[in-house]
Amino acid sequence: MQMFGENIGDKIGQEVKILIDTAYRDAQTLLQEHRDKLDRIAEALLQKEKINEQDFKKFFDE
C-alpha cells in the first residue's frame, strides 16, 4: 500500500539526503574546529583507557 505518490516519495528522499549531508558537513566542521581537544582526549584515553565526566570536561575548560 502506497501512502503517497511517487513524486512525493522522491521529494522526501531528496529532503532527507539534504538533512543527512548537512549534518555530516556540520559534524566535520565541529571536529575540525576542535581537533586539538579531540587529539588530547584520544591521548588521555590511550594512557588511561577511561576518563570520567569531570576529566572530560576539563578539556573544554582549557
In what helix (H) or strand (E) does residue 60 lie, and over which residues does it extend?
A: helix 53-61
| CA torsion through residues 31, 33, 34, 36, sign | positive
pLDDT attached to residue 8? 85
pLDDT attached to residue 2? 60
What's this model's pTM, rounded to 2 decimal places?
0.64
- The ranges of the chain with pLDDT < 70 are 1-6
pLDDT attached to residue 29? 98
The amino acid at 49: E
pLDDT attached to residue 3? 63
pLDDT attached to residue 5? 66
Phi, psi of 4 (to 5 degrees): -150, 165
pLDDT attached to residue 7? 82
